Amino acid sequence: MRSRTAAPLLVLLALFFAPLAPARAAGRKLALLPAAVANGASENGQIVTEALRASLQKQGFELLPAAEVEEGVDARKLELNRTVPVPELAKLRESLGADYLIHPRVLAVGTPLNAKTQQATVLLNAIGPSSTTSFLHTRQIGQTFLSGSAPEQSPVIDRRSADTLAGRLLEGFLRRVRRAERSSGS
């Protein structure tokens, strides 16, 4: 008797919690540019890029290979440590055949908040299918992290803090992608 009542209850729970599931972007190609570091240890760029890559893959995006993206950046002679105009990023997205392009920049790492805690400031800009003159999404986040034993002049953000940072940076972008998917019916 218990199994007869459990099945309808499980279906009801699944329907209730379905809207809380992460955005799925299956089949959507995304070009993730490597995070350039304006101020701080260069390793922070790779750590932030890896955290963003992992988060986007969990959401179902098909990420273009990093080497292919870097070739496109080099071919267009873009300097990622500087502000890149939206039309240039839009042309890069189009030339790579991506639906979306994300350009992260680590503005500063190592702003001391107290003896053990520091802050990383990261800016994320996203270009979508119809973005030619303005960003689909832009967000700047300050993420605190424990400075650990790193020398004060070059702290490196830990992976757990980078994962949190990636999630916070992508929140609005994922909402916009979900909204666009619903309105286009795909």
Residue 21: pLDDT above 80?
A: no
Is the four-CA dihedral 173, 179, 183, 184 of positive or negative sign? positive
pLDDT of residue 25: 58
What is the residue-averaged pLDDT of the chain?
83
In CATH terms, the fold of domain 24-184 is: Rossmann fold (3.40.50)
pTM as predicted = 0.81
What's the CA gap between 43 and 22, in Å, rounded? Answer: 29
Domain ranges of the chain: 24-184
Closest CA to 34 of 137, 104, 122: 104
Instruction: Tell me whether residue 2 is exposed, middle or buried, using C-beta atoms within 10 angstroms of its C-beta: 0 to 12, 13 to 18, 19 or more.
Output: exposed
**Reported confidence tier of residue 115, pLDDT bands at 50, 70, 90:** confident
pLDDT in tens, 77-89: 999 988 899 999 9
